[in-house]
Amino acid sequence: MAASQFNWLVMADPVNRVMMLGDEAIPTKQEIHRHAEAAVATFLAAFLHPDKR
């Protein structure tokens, strides 16, 4: 379940934008990096033990 949730944190927004808005919505490398960092931070906030944060 956690792996699926992480997958959707990473993939959902970029994929949905491109599907709905077309090629103009393809994120830049910088946008992908920022999005991935935010997804990792969200995932770790939910699953990482508080002593490891």
Q: Which pLDDT does position 7 carry in this prediction?
A: 97
Query: For residue range 2-42, what is the model confidence (pLDDT) as tens digits?
Result: 999 999 999 999 999 999 999 999 999 999 999 999 999 99
What is the structure's pLDDT at 44? 94
Predicted TM-score of the model (pTM): 0.81
pLDDT at 42: 96
Contact 48, 40 (CB under 8 A): no
Residue 52, pLDDT > 90, answer no
Q: Are residues 35 and 26 in contact, defined by beta-carbon separation less than 8 angstroms?
A: no
Residue 51: the pLDDT is 80
- The number of CA neighbours under 13 Å toward the Cβ of 17 is 13
